[in-house]
Amino acid sequence: MTVYVDNMNARFGRMKMCHMLADSDEELLAMADKIGVQRRWHQHPGTIKSHFDICTSKREKAVDLGAVQIDYPSDVAKIMKARRAALAKTQV
């Protein structure tokens, strides 16, 4: 299982934001707790789009704790595609 952070660098006010996603919601929530991101910011929980938008300082903390750095949008798209395929297999 893995937690990922991308390099999106989107502006939100004065902050720069990126995505944090994981192979499971449990792992994603555990990392959010470790880096101090409130669970109420969890977007699309329980779906293939499950993620957090986090600021770059939280991204650095996540990387220090073992999160894998990925490229936006290419690697994020690959992860979403794999999630969609896995979901399709479970629904057959």
Give, as one character, the DSSP assignment of residue 38: -
How far out from the chain centre does Cα 58 lie? Answer: 12
Indicate yes or no: pTM above 0.85. yes
Residue 91's pLDDT band (cuts 50, 70, 90):
confident
CA distance 25 to 27: 5
Tokens 């929530």, located at residue: 29
> What is the pLDDT of the chain when averaged over all its residues?
96
Is 23's pLDDT higher than 90? yes
The fraction of the chain above a pLDDT of 90, given in percent, is 92
Cis amide leading into 73 (omega within 30): yes
